[in-house]
């Protein structure tokens, strides 16, 4: 029986302490498949490409994770870890429909919903009138409604900011909820391993360990000046996050930062000529995607890039300033990227990085190009490839 606790009361005054919920659907694609086909429940299941086509696991259920199967793992490797693994192809239309219904439930509680993907979103419920303004009760009700109305489970984290809410949502997965109250922030963050900080990968973690830093509490012994000297601008983020500080707002209209397309090839591309041939359909797809995006929002290109993943799984990206997608410039970037290792290519992608909205508006004040020219014309000036 679903208990709805919605209570309407006069609008609450905004507080300096925010109430943020991070909602994350549990093994989303796999959960949709298990919902629609109950015979898949209780067995190791992955959604992704087939191993004979060099497929990759997009997501998997918890039965598969018990064998060590993980997202982004090659399907062939996943089958070695779990020979009974059932791998099925994704059906994006069903996932999109489930996502649409979940996001609609979120928006019943606040207009401040920032989707991060089909299955993940931040909600700012600071001024919400529902559940007498209790973020904990709102999160509990949302989870109950998604289960009852969509047939899926959602884990939630409730906290005073986005950083802590996201960590909290993972604390009691699957189908769980964890609340970090303002008075608990300092102690909660202090014991977190530094690897839980967004942007701290293996290399940065090793550098921090060399300084005697294993936890966020350890990191607090270093000043901002020390951290910025060692890690550049990222040092400021380290200084703030290890203290539980995150002033980012929930942004419903989060700006699109890039548009790209990519393909993993069933047969390695062994020469630059083969790569150039494969680039042409990618460019057509990219132009079509940009055109579709421009129907709903104004976009201005700032850079174009080509990314490569070699057969040994190493990666490289070449990019340059641009005002549009110029095939000749993309071929130059491709040659630059391929030439860095001269190994067979397994994956290739091409894309554009977009200007921030204000810079784009200023550019359009002086821009008399038509849309077609902006998409295909080569930009003036020096566009030497740069490594990213």
| Token representation of residue 1 | 């029986």
- Helices 272-294 and 327-339 sit at what angle, rounded to 10 degrees? 130
The reply to whether 119 sits in an annotated binding site is yes
Q: Is residue 120 annotated as part of the catalytic site, yes or no?
A: yes
Q: Which whole-number Å values give the CA distances from 50 to 80, 90, 266, 363, in the listed order?
A: 13, 11, 11, 46
**Is residue 122 a contact partner of residue 165, using CB atoms and an 8 Å limit?**
yes
Task: Tell me the CA distances in angstroms from 332 to 154, 211, 264, one per residue in order.
Answer: 45, 42, 21
Ligand-binding annotation for 24, yes or no, is yes
Catalytic residue among 120, 141, 319, 336: 120
Burial class (CB in 10 A: 0-12, 13-18, 19+), 83: exposed
Number of helical H runs and strand E runs in the chain: 15, 13
Rounded alpha-carbon distances, angstroms, from residue 94 to 30, 35, 102, 116, 321? 11, 11, 12, 18, 38
What's the CA gap between 119 and 102, in Å, rounded?
Answer: 8
Q: How many CB atoms lie within 10 A of CB 377?
A: 15
> What residue numbers does the annotated binding site cover?
24, 119
> What residue numbers does the annotated binding site for Mg(2+) cover?
24, 119
The residues carrying an active-site annotation are 120
């Amino acid at each position: 029986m679903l208990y709805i606790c919605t209570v309407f009361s006069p609008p609450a005054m905004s507080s300096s302490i925010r109430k943020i919920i991070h909602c994350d659907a549990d093994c989303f694609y796999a959960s949709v498949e298990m919902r629609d086909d109950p015979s898949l429940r209780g067995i190791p299941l992955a959604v992704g490409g087939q191993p004979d086509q060099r497929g990759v696991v997009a997501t998997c259920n918890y039965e598969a994770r018990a064998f060590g199967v993980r997202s982004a793992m090659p399907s062939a490797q996943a089958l070695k870890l779990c020979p009974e693994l059932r791998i099925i192809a994704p059906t994006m239309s069903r996932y999109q429909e489930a996502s649409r219904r979940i996001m609609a439930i979120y928006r019943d509680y606040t207009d401040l919903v920032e989707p991060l993907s089909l299955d993940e979103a931040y909600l700012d419920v600071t001024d919400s009138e529902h559940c007498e303004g209790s973020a904990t009760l709102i999160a509990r009700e949302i989870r109950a409604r998604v289960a009852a109305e969509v047939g899926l489970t959602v884990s939630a984290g409730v906290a005073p900011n986005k950083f802590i809410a996201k960590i909290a949502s993972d604390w009691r997965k699957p189908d769980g909820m964890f609340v970090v109250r303002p008075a608990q922030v300092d102690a909660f963050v202090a014991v977190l391993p530094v690897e839980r900080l967004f942007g701290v990968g293996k290399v940065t973690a090793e550098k921090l360990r060399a300084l005697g830093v294993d936890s966020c509490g350890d990191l607090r012994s270093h000043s901002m000046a020390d951290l910025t000297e060692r890690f550049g601008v990222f040092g400021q983020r380290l200084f703030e996050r290890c203290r539980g500080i995150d002033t980012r707002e929930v942004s419903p209209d989060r700006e699109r930062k890039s548009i790209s397309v990519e393909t993993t090839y069933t047969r390695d591309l062994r020469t630059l000529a083969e790569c150039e041939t494969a680039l042409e359909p990618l460019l057509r797809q990219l132009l079509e995607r940009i055109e579709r995006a421009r129907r709903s929002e104004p976009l201005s290109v700032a850079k174009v890039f080509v990314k490569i993943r070699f057969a040994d799984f190493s990666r490289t990206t070449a990019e340059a300033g641009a005002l549009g997608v110029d095939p000749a410039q993309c071929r130059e970037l491709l040659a630059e990227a391929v030439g860095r290792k001269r190994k067979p290519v397994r994956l290739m992608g091409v894309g554009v990085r977009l200007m921030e909205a204000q810079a784009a508006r200023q550019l359009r004040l002086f821009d008399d190009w038509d849309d077609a020219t902006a998409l295909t014309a080569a930009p003036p000036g020096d566009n030497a490839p740069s490594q990213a």
